[in-house]
Amino acid sequence: MRETRIRLGEVEIACSIGGAGPPVLLLHGFPQNRAMWGPVAAQLADRFTVVAADLRGYGASDVPGQDAPQDCAGYSFRAMGQDQLALMERLGFATFHLVGHDRGARVAHRMALDAPERIVSLTLMDIVPTELLLSRLSHQVARSYYHWFFLAQPHPFPETLIKADPDYYFESCLLGWGGARLEDFDANALAAYRAAWRRPEVIFGMCQDYRATLQHDLALDTADLGRRVACPALVLYGAQGAMAQAYDIPATWADRLARMQAASVPGGHFFPDTAPEATAEALLGFLA
């Protein structure tokens, strides 16, 4: 994979590009970066041109807004999706397959709503709709996903606490939501995660992402209730994950995705990390 950073307006977005064939954009989740896709991308690259990108505020992408932390609008799923649409256009891909895990899946859903003409297919990994999760929040989900509300607290409260020991905090996230172990994660990917989340600006960027969900994304998604994504869509989820324990995940998407397939993958929330072969097999079967 070729590593590069591409200037797109106010931000530079870091990405990895490789393979040949129809384009596929891979978007990571929290608290990771594009390194999570390494083993999966290697299997896709035989048949597809694979682009794995860091969301703004994550990994090696720029972290805008540090001089105005009270304004998190630049970290809405819409703003982050506009980065990725511009990235694919700059790379010469007018249309493409779109795959997202966790926060990347939420960005991907917003992209499919905002620019449906650009998205050939949509794959959402281990999420339920943002509006549904927040508007019908249960005690069970609040306990598992407490970080949504911790990270959304005003700057610099969560950043200050996390900076005391970022490895401890973010590794506790990796080991939750479905019971993974550190040794289940690819060593190179784990090293890339640690290198990124130890940077104070990346901690800030991730917090801004969650602040924007409460301040902007919930309203945007509520306004779009009733709209359905028309392109073929695949919903993948971890069979032992926190979301699968709390929801019938395919049912939460049934009225939002017009042409949906759904399947589970062994593991918890981080199954693309812990079960990359099964994840790639599911993706190849769908994308083909």
127-153 tens-digit pLDDT? 999 999 999 999 999 999 999 999 999
pLDDT of residue 253: 98
DSSP assignments along 73-108, one per residue: GGGSHHHHHHHHHHHHHHTT-SSEEEEEETHHHHHH
pLDDT of residue 177: 80
Residue 178: the pLDDT is: 73
pLDDT of amino acid 180: 83
Q: Which two tokens stand for residue 137?
A: 């929040």
Residue 137: predicted pLDDT: 94
Query: Using one digit for the tens of pLDDT, what is the confidence trace for 185-241?
Result: 999 999 999 999 999 999 999 999 999 999 999 999 999 999 999 999 999 999 999
For residues 165-169, average pLDDT: 98
Query: Measured between alpha carbons, how far is 115 from 133 in angstroms, rounded to an integer?
Result: 23
Give the pTM: 0.98
> What CATH number matches the domain at 2-287, 3.40.720.10, 3.60.21.10, 3.30.750.24, 3.40.50.1820?
3.40.50.1820
All residues at 6 or more sequence positions from 145 whose CB lies less than 8 Å from its CB, including other chains: 133, 177, 242
pLDDT(179) > 80: no
Work out the percent of the chain whose per-residue pLDDT is above 90.
Answer: 98
Question: Strand 49-53 vs strand 11-19: parallel, antiparallel, or unpaired?
Answer: antiparallel
* 241 Cβ contact list (under 8 Å, min separation 6): 126, 177, 178, 267, 268, 269, 271
Contact between 198 and 228 under an 8 Å Cβ cutoff? The reply is: no
* The pLDDT of residue 72 is above 90: yes
How does the average pLDDT of the chain come out, rounded? 97
Catalytic residues: 102, 269
